[in-house]
């Protein structure tokens, strides 16, 4: 039997033709770590990217192994592209899939450092990058730039606040700068930002970057080693909870300084080079280099608090503290509410707790609520407001309330107390039904009271005048009295409800903005030629309206807790964080200009907002 080989040959040729397509479909996925430079100073931030090739779906890698670096997440974005070309009249479309994670990393110690191999999950499968080496050099101080950390005291007690002032002395113009303050993330120290006591004007405040923190610094002028400098100053309260000797970690500041100029020439319309650029100086383009200035590393000796004579109610306050109180009203009946306001003043007052009122106010004389109202903190003062009630007419004052603290100057435990607050307490008066109606006593009633006093309780039931005509009340007075007693309260209730809703509307003017936030966002995103900056502003205005926060200074840390509290999923929160990091990368690294990419980001922004909106309904 003769076999027809044509179908077999045709099948083989078809398979050979499809081999390139099959190869493309099964293309390998690769991942790699790319760094901006392989040499850097300690404290010098530079860019690191993790690039995924072959897929646009990748999970955030775990960077916990980069313990020699401080890492800031700048967000991730798709790196996919499609190219259409015409070759010999045949149109071909080539699609490349990719994704990029961007970070800013800063070496925190010197030496030959390693970025270890990192595992990245792509399309559900793990892939590993290659390890990279970086040479981190120690920063060196120059004549034009100095960084100093000053401590108000080199010795303190555990829990005693010490003022830490960090000052950058600047002798030349700089382009931009960024601080690294490792002490902010050191678990041995508690750091509280503080405004310098003197020499700072209101307009001298500036916002600066310090690793993952945004801090308020203050511009000024100062002298160091006989030379005048411009200064940038940060001030904090530093608290160490345990005894020992501590060396403060070195701070650094990286800045861009002019290292020289290069001449740029432009041809004039006549074909030659224009000399006007040279004449006006605009042809000189500065060249910048990164300079990292290290700080000193002061040593702080922390002494343990003495155990001798330590009061039982000592809560750990160290420093010089005072306490005062006031109450309102001062003239009350038994059971009336009294607002007791207690102020605690001192260097670390935000850590203070309200003294246990039951220790000073007798429970037989005062009713004290079990739940303590939230306090208000303002710089070195903390204010507590609590409602108490008097239970006895014999009460004449609110007794002194004491606060125990350790005075490091006297090296002793001290007590501060409030002044007693005088009270006038009246016995409650029982109001009868006759008092409520307002009827005056009749002659017969008066006469009966005189007889009752001499003849006992039986007299209360004598005489026809004590009998009530039930028939008359039933048929003649029922509706009259019902209207008399119910109509005024009903009218009052209606007026109170109207007033309440009006005040609620006036109290919450942002409520309407919150209600219309999604419609406003869609309108903003529909604007033609939407810029990256406008996209960032639109999302922040939406979240600011929903959470009633100022959108102009909105950061991811401002929205994380409120959104989590209303039940927003962690996956949505992570996408929001990536979006905010991307906005920040646009601000510092340049915005995107690709129209297709911009449309994609707009769609993602709207989708993300719609997923968040569900939790507000």
Per-position DSSP letters for 380-446, written without gaps between them? TEEEEEEEEEE--TT--EEPP-EEEEEETTTTEEEEEEPPPEE-EEEPPPPPPHHHHHTPPPPHHHH
Residue 509 has pLDDT above 70, yes or no: no
Q: Which residue has the higher pLDDT, 88 or 365?
A: 365
Phi, psi of 393, deg, nearest 5: -70, -20
User: Of 384, 398, 378, which Cα lies nearest the Cα of 355?
Assistant: 384
Mean pLDDT of all residues belonging to the chain: 79
User: For 217-226, 323-332, 362-371, which range has the lowest pLDDT when averaged over its residues?
Assistant: 362-371
- Per-residue pLDDT at 501: 65
The mean per-residue pLDDT over the stretch 352-370 comes to 88
Contact 196, 235 (CB under 8 A): yes
> 151: which DSSP letter?
E
Give the architecture-level CATH label for domain 25-137. Answer: Sandwich (2.60)
Average pLDDT over residues 583-594: 59
Alpha-carbon distance 566 to 518, whole Å? 17
DSSP string, 80-116: -EEEEEEETTEEEEEEE-EEEEEEEEEESS-EEEEE-
If you average pLDDT over residues 482-499, what whole number do you get? 77
Fold of 145-302: Immunoglobulin-like (2.60.40)
CATH 1.10.3470 correct for 306-426 = no
- For residue 449, is pLDDT > 70? no
* Residue limits of CATH 2.60.40.10 in the chain: 25-137
Q: 459-485, pLDDT tens digit by residue?
A: 444 444 444 444 444 444 566 667 777
pLDDT (0 to 100) of residue 492:
78
- Percent of the chain at pLDDT > 70 equals 77
379: left (phi over 0), alpha (psi -120 to 50) or beta: left
Task: Please tell me the least confidently modeled range out of 56-65, 142-151, 527-536.
Answer: 527-536
Q: Assess whether pLDDT exceeds 70 at residue 548.
A: yes
SS3 labels along 288-307: EEEEEEEECCCEEEEECCCC
- When pLDDT is averaged across residues 351-363 and rounded to a whole number, the result is 88
Whether pLDDT at 434 is above 80: no
Q: Please check the confidence at residue 564 and state whether its pLDDT lies above 50.
A: yes
Q: Is 20 exposed, middle or buried (0-12, 13-18, 19+ CB in 10 A)?
A: exposed
Contact 387, 412 (CB under 8 A): no
pLDDT, residue 102, reads 93
10-66 tens-digit pLDDT = 555 555 544 444 444 345 889 999 998 888 888 888 899 999 998 888 899 998 888
Opening angle at CA 13, ends 10 and 15, nearest 5: 110
What CA–CA distance (Å, rounded) separates 188 from 390? 46
More confident position, 480 or 386: 386
Average pLDDT over residues 402-406: 93
What value does the mean pLDDT take over residues 507-521? 69
């Amino acid at each position: 039997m003769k076999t027809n080989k044509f179908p077999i040959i045709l099948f083989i040729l078809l398979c050979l033709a499809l081999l390139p397509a099959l190869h493309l479909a099964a293309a390998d996925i690769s991942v790699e770590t790319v760094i901006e430079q392989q040499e850097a100073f300690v404290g010098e931030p530079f860019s690191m990217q993790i690039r995924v090739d072959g897929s646009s779906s990748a999970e955030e890698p775990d960077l916990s192994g980069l313990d020699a670096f401080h890492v800031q997440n700048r967000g991730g974005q798709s790196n996919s592209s499609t190219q259409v070309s015409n070759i010999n009249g045949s149109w071909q479309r080539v699609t490349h899939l990719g994704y990029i994670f961007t970070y800013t990393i800063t070496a925190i110690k010197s030496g030959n450092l390693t970025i270890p191999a990192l595992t990245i999950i792509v399309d559900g499968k793990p892939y590993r990058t290659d390890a990279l080496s970086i040479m981190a050099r120690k920063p060196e101080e120059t004549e034009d730039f100095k960084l100093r950390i000053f401590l108000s005291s080199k010795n303190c007690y555990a829990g005693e606040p010490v003022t830490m002032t960090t000052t950058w002395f600047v002798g030349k113009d700089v382009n931009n700068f960024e601080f690294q303050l490792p002490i902010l993330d050191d678990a041995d120290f508690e750091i509280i930002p503080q405004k310098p006591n003197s020499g700072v004007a209101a307009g001298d405040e500036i916002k600066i970057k310090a690793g993952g923190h945004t801090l308020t610094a203050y511009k000024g002028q100062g002298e160091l080693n006989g030379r005048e400098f411009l200064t940038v100053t940060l001030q904090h309260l530093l608290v160490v909870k345990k005894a020992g000797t501590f060396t403060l970690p070195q701070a650094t500041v990286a800045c861009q300084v002019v290292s020289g100029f290069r001449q740029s020439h432009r041809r004039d319309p006549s074909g030659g080079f224009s000399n006007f650029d040279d004449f006006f100086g605009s042809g000189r383009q500065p060249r910048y280099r990164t300079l990292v200035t290290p700080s000193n590393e002061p040593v702080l000796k922390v002494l343990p608090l003495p155990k001798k004579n330590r009061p039982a109610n000592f809560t750990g306050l160290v420093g010089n503290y005072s306490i005062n109180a006031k109450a309102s009203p001062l003239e009350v009946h038994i059971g009336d509410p009294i607002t007791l306001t207690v102020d605690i003043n001192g260097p670390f007052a935000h850590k203070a707790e309200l003294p246990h009122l039951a220790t000073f106010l007798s429970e037989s004389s005062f009713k004290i609520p079990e739940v303590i109202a939230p306090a208000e903190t303002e710089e070195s003062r903390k204010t507590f407001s609590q409602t108490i009630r008097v239970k006895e007419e014999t009460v004449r004052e609110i007794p002194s309330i004491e606060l125990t603290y350790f005075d490091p100057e006297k090296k002793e435990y001290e007590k501060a107390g409030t002044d007693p607050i005088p009270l006038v307490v009246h016995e409650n008066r029982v109001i009868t039904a006759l008092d409520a109606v307002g009827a005056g006593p009749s002659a017969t009633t008066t006469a009966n009271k005189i007889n009752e006093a001499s003849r006992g309780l039986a007299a209360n039931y004598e005489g026809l005048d004590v009998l009530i005509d039930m028939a008359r009340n039933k048929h003649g007075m029922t509706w009259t009295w019902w209207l008399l007693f119910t109509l005024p309260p009903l009218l009052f209730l209606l007026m109170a409800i109207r007033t309440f809703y009006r005040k609620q509307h006036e109290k919450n003017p942002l409520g309407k903005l919150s209600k219309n936030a999604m419609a406003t966002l869609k309108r903003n995103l529909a604007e033609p030629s939407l810029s990256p900056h406008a996209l960032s502003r639109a999302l922040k205005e939406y979240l600011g309206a929903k959470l009633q926060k100022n959108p102009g200074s909105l950061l991811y840390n401002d929205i994380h807790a409120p959104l989590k509290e209303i039940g927003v999923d962690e996956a949505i929160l992570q996408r929001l964080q990536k979006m905010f990091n991307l906005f920040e990368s646009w601000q510092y690294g340049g915005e995107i200009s690709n129209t297709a990419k911009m449309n994609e980001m707009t769609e993602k922004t709207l989708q993300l907002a719609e997923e968040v909106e569900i939790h507000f309904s």
